Structure 1
């Protein structure tokens, strides 16, 4: 499975076990993983200094909202998937149009969703309201 071959995917997740699992999924799909970033500050720094084509974003990092990371991704028109244990968090944080996968999630669905977002971006199709 190499549907994300050559893509740089920012991983924003503060739980080590979940982060390792998602990183393995992304690597198996051919992605180059940026991160994982466990804090908002680290995620924003990586977003500024690294190539990022797409992102996987947990909205709760060490007790803080990561909505500012989602807003920064939107501002750069970088597609992202919200992966969270709180399915309503994306909408409450102004990211209601981002695809949300509730933990625990289907690994295939994560890769399929990221692939579709990247394909839509390349085709010029808006995937979310910016």
Structure 2
């Protein structure tokens, strides 16, 4: 009986931008900002391109709106990522060890800071800190699996 096998690998392109700010903390923070900010801006562009294709036309107003939305989302998510990466690195330096607890603490501090900056109530800040810590910890554990 004939058999067939499929063998191969799927790889993604890796893009690294090296920006030397003269400090590892700043380097990681800026790197996180740029990478996640770019992802957020690209998501907005793809989403708005879909809506324009569905509608069948694009106006100058819609294009300007998309550009503004890309900048806003890119800056917001880039800032959140930069704060998280910086917090995680800072916790790693303070604790002197690299483990999942750094991600948990960094995520919790980031969640609390972003929530407090959004003028949320104290209860919402606590919930967002718990959520940030949980998401960061889960992401760290998933990284260990791969």
**TM range, smaller chain:** under 0.3
TM value normalised by structure 1: 0.27
Q: Which has the larger radius of gyration?
A: 2
Query: Greater strand percent: which structure?
Result: 1
Query: Greater helix percent: which structure?
Result: 2
